[in-house]
């Protein structure tokens, strides 16, 4: 049986973009791989969790 481990990950939301992002999650939220975590407030692509 695999053991589930809680990891703390930091994903920077201002990479390669001049538009600010609006975070859809807050510190302490449980996030799934591929979950939408932020959206741009102008031009840009949605940010999804990589882990």
Per-residue pLDDT, 1: 56
Per-residue pLDDT, 44: 84
Give me the tens of pLDDT residue by residue for the chain, a chain 51 residues long.
567 677 788 888 876 667 789 999 998 899 999 999 999 988 888 999 988
Please, what is the Cα angle at 49 between 33 and 6, to 5 degrees? Answer: 60
Distance in angstroms (rounded) separating the CA atoms of residues 38 and 44: 11
Per-residue pLDDT, 8: 85
* Dihedral of the alpha carbons of 18, 31, 7, 5, in degrees to the nearest 10: -160
Per-residue pLDDT, 23: 94
Strands 21-23 and 36-40: antiparallel
């Amino acid at each position: 049986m695999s053991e589930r481990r809680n990891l703390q990950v930091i994903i920077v939301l201002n990479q390669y973009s001049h538009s600010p992002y609006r975070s859809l999650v807050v510190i302490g939220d449980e996030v799934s791989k591929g979950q939408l975590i932020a959206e741009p407030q102008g031009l840009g692509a949605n940010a999804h969790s990589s882990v």
